[in-house]
Structure 1
Amino acid sequence: MGIFSRTRDIIAANFSDLLDKAEDPSKMIRMIILEMEETLVEVRASAARTIADQKEMRRHVEKLDRLQADWGDKAQLALSKDREDLARAALVEKRKAGDMADQLNGEIAVLEDSLRAYEADIEKLQTRLREARSRQTAIAARLESAENRVKLRTLLASERVDEAMARFDALERRVDFAEGRADALSLAEGKTQSLADEIAALGQADKVDEELEALKRQLSAKKEG
């Protein structure tokens, strides 16, 4: 058994209540849309049959109109030949054709009212169908968002995230160490000589001066000799 029993039930349906009561709103909205689509097809088929019936009846009315004209011509011919009896009989047949035409025109008018009702129902069904499809899109988006939040929370609560964060921490420590070494080398390059280094340099200068004086004396002794 479907969710709805007839077209009017669909038009008057409160989708929010139906979805609130459903255990699976996504499944419920799919069922609603399916039944609405099937109902829309049925209503359109009924409207098509009504239009076909109207066309057939109008063809019969046209034939009856021609028949009335024909019996009218025959009645005139009979009277022109002084056959009042035949003229009367022809007029009776003309009246019968007229009555049948009037009956068919009445039925056509009823079908016209039915067709207008079908058109109104089709328009309302299409509106409700668009509404249902919009709800389906919204429900799908909400469902996807909820599932993504569940996945994210599950991921954040898992050990894999903790392990990944620990690896990030270790990597950051390695970067800190490398940066520290680079900073230390920069400090060493720009550092001034200590007092001990300056004194040691003075001692080295004295030795150089002594060697220089010794060379000078050697050269002087050679010249004098």
Structure 2
Amino acid sequence: MAKQSIFGRISTLMKANINAMLDQAEDPQKMLDQLVRDYTNNIADAEAAIAETIGNLRLLERDHQEDLQSASEWGNKALAASRKADEFRASGDAVDADKFDNLAKVALQRQIAAENSAKAAAPQIASQTEVVNKLKDGLNGMKQKLEQLKAKSAELVARQKTAEAQTKVVDAVKSIDVLDPTSELGRFEEKVRRQEAIAQGKTELAASSLDAQFESLEDLGELTEVEARLAALKSGGAAKPAIEG
């Protein structure tokens, strides 16, 4: 019954649709991990059961071989006793002839018993051999599926890491997006623009103040010229223009 149970579990696991199970799972990674543990445990149980089944099969085969060998040996003994009986009968010794014929009959009886034992074991050996082969095939299938599960698990982990890395890259790129006014670089650029505007304002302010100073100098020059001409008029001279044509 235990072997049948193991065989049933192997068949069930082999027929399991892993992709469908993963599609329905809330956490595929956890489910894969659990499946890997289940497969590993069932493989260990199956290996133990198969080892026991193989051991029993080898005992049957050994007993069968011993029965065949025993049948052959008893056949040889029957032949030797029969020939000995013929020799005694040819020499006129009926007593010893009958004795060895009886020994030959005993040997033949044991030969027949060994042959019957071997014949009875043959179907059982064939059945056990079929079971062992199916168990071996199922076990190999489970091992292959276990490797698929491990590969699928590794693939999911890699895909998860890739997705996380892509998310980080997108976030990083977004944080330095020059077209996004809310990004760090955008905010820094706005700050620089304001500083540049302030500097430009100060420059323009300084320039306007300088222009006013030069204008006052020009006004002062005009006043000085007026004073000079007035002094000339008072001294009796004619006022002369500063620039003669």
Within a 5 Å distance, the mapping from 1:119-134 to structure 2 comes to 119-134=136-151
Q: Which of 73, 76, 80 is 2:79 aligned to?
A: 76
Deviations along 1:109-160, one digit per CA (max 9) or x if unpaired, are: 2222122212321232233222212221222123223444555677768xxx
Which residue is equivalent to 1:194?
Answer: none
**Number of corresponding residues:** 170
Identity of aligned residues (%): 23
Which residue is equivalent to 1:60?
Answer: 63
Is 1:112 the counterpart of 2:129? The answer is: yes
Partner-residue secondary structure (3-state), 1:72? helix
Give 1:172 deviation, angstroms. Answer: 6.8
Q: Aligned equivalents of 2:76 and 2:152: distance in 1?
A: 66
Q: Aligned equivalents of 2:15 and 2:123: distance in 1?
A: 31
Deviations along 1:81-125, one digit per CA (max 9) or x if unpaired, are: 323333222211111111112223332222221222123212322
Q: Which of 146, 158, 162 is 1:141 aligned to?
A: 158
Partner-residue secondary structure (3-state), 1:6? helix
Q: Aligned equivalents of 1:172 and 1:63: distance in 2?
A: 100
What TM-score comes out, normalization by structure 1 length? 0.61
Which residue is equivalent to 2:16?
Answer: 13
Give 1:61 deviation, angstroms. Answer: 2.4
Within a 5 Å distance, the mapping from 1:184-223 to structure 2 comes to none
Q: Which of 39, 49, 52 is 1:49 aligned to?
A: 52
Q: Aligned equivalents of 1:154 and 1:9: distance in 2?
A: 46
| Conservation of the 8 A alpha-carbon contact between 2:10 and 2:139 | no
Which residue is equivalent to 1:35?
Answer: 38
Amino acid at match of 2:15: A
* Unaligned 5+ runs, structure 1: 177-225
What TM-score comes out, normalization by structure 2 length? 0.56
Which residue is equivalent to 1:96?
Answer: 113
Q: Aligned equivalents of 2:163 and 2:119: distance in 1?
A: 65
Structure with the greater relative contact order (CA < 8 A, sep ≥ 6): 1 or 2? 1
Partner-residue secondary structure (3-state), 2:14? helix
Give 1:13 deviation, angstroms. Answer: 0.9
